[in-house]
Amino acid sequence: MKDLSESRILIVDDAKTNIDILVEALRDEYKLSVALDGTAALRSVEKSAPDLVLLDIVMPGIDGYEVCRQLRAQPSTRELPIMFLSSLEDVKDKARGFEVGGNDYLTKPFEILEVKARVRSLLKAKAYADAVREAMDRDLAIAREIQMGILPFDLKAATTHSALDVHAIIEPAQRVGGDLYEVLRASDDRLIVALGDVSGKGIAAALFMAITVTVLRTLARHIADPAEILRRLNDELAERNPHLMFVTIQCLVFDLEHGRVTCAGAGHHQLATLSRSRPPRLACPSSGRPAGLMASNPIESVTLTLEPGDTFVLFSDGVTEATNAAEDFYGEERLLNVLSSCGGASAADIVARVMKDVRAFAAGAKQSDDIAVLAARYAPAS
């Protein structure tokens, strides 16, 4: 935990006498900064956030209430401790101070020993909260490494001499998430590709995602029909699922010997296909409900003949439901428009173009859902 002597306090007051009293009382214990009005205080915090703000209310220009309100509106300073030191002693004034986000309120003239006690209490609470947050960040970083390690990491090894070019990417909305993909070479002539989206986000979704990938990988090694893979996956997940979590998933099994692919979906939206003879289109609708909710999921499969250049693009709803500042959805039509310019492109290039277009559409708006994209291109030797 941070040593309190390393804490920095920003004193905001337009009266030099008050500043001198506070500086004299606190300078031997903490690092201090001073601002003479609200505007200067906001500039100082923006430049380097302190550990605590001692804030006067009645000042020329922006008053202390507005300073506090603006600090609480910014994610970077939303949790910054703020103690009002004001000559306003009416209960309504104090209540307003807490309503705008103040952590403490002390009226002038104040006893310096009380100021020091309250300052120390606020700084200790912040130091403890920061230590807990740092520990959680470390745990989440480790959890992310473990989660990403569960996913296939060497797609080229899985697709060598398969006539398939496969590439995938996942970007969680939080440090960990629930999107998943699988690329598994079950035999020389059979390759399984899948992409799924677990309900929810965060740690719970990540744990359910890990279970889903593990079960899916085991089943896919021994079962050739993707519908049967997903039916069995559904039953395994539903057997012990007290919180009724679920996963939507598309599964493709490539039969390389006979030049065909069989598709099945459990509650997942359609995938997109590209071919030389037709524009990009949506295909392979799901016949079953999301996996994990209950046993006996009625999932069926569809088999397609492969032609050179055929490409299958699987994606989570974090793509089509990505939003911009106006809260418009990215949508399937925009995705198909991007794919229309991807004829002959590699799987990696297709994924990169989709992600680039999604980011351009969002234009910096906060990502609200996990994003996963996988492209599998059939390119047999001539």
| CATH number of the structural domain spanning residue 155 | 3.60.40.10
CB 154 within 8 A of CB 164: no
| Residues in the chain, pLDDT under 50 | none
Residues 202 and 342 in one domain: yes
Same domain membership, residue 355 and residue 219 = yes
Check whether residue 373 and residue 273 sit in a common domain.
yes
3-state secondary structure the chain: CCCHHHCEEEEECCCHHHHHHHHHHHCCCCEEEEECCHHHHHHHHHHCCCCEEEECCCCCCCCHHHHHHHHHHCHHHCCCCEEEEECCCCHHHHHHHHHCCCCEEEECCCCHHHHHHHHHHHHHHHHHHHHHHHHHHHHHHHHHHHHHHHCCCCHHHHHCCCCEEEEEEEECCCCCCCEEEEEEEEECCEEEEEEEEECCCHHHHHHHHHHHHHHHHHHHCCCCCHHHHHHHHHHHHHHCCCCCCCEEEEEEEEECCCCEEEEEEEECCCEEEECCCCCCEEECCCCECCECCCCCCCCCEEEEECCCCCEEEEECHHHHCCECCCCCECHHHHHHHHHCCCCCCCHHHHHHHHHHHHHHHHCCCCCCCCEEEEEEEECCCC
Q: Are residues 137 and 163 in the same domain?
A: no
Tell which residue, 175, 121, 186, has the closest CA to residue 152: 186
* pLDDT for 115: 95
Is residue 10 included in any domain, yes or no?
yes
What integer pLDDT is reported at residue 23 of this predicted model?
95
Residue 86 lies in a domain: yes
- As for how many domains the chain has, the answer is 2
Is residue 185 in some structural domain? yes
Q: What is the pLDDT of residue 382?
A: 62
Residues 88 and 208 in one domain: no
Are 35 and 174 in the same domain? no
83 in the same domain as 10 = yes
Residue 171 inside a domain? The answer is: yes
User: Which of 117, 141, 165 is at the close of a domain?
Assistant: 141
Cα separation, 229 vs 233, in Å, equals 6
Q: Residue 276 falls within a domain, yes or no?
A: yes
* Residue 140: per-residue pLDDT: 83
Domain carrying residue 133: 4-141
* 234 and 104 share one domain: no
Is 345 within 8 Å of 353 (Cβ atoms)?
yes
Confidence (pLDDT) at 123: 96
> Model pTM?
0.79
184 and 269 inside one domain? yes
| CATH code, domain with 27 | 3.40.50.2300
Question: Does residue 84 belong to any structural domain of this protein?
Answer: yes
Question: Do 178 and 314 fall into the same domain?
Answer: yes
Residue 177 sits in the same domain as residue 312: yes
Residues 293 and 366 in one domain: yes
Rounded Cα–Cα distance for residues 288 and 267 (Å): 6
In-domain check, residue 146:
no
- What local confidence, expressed as pLDDT, does residue 174 receive? 81
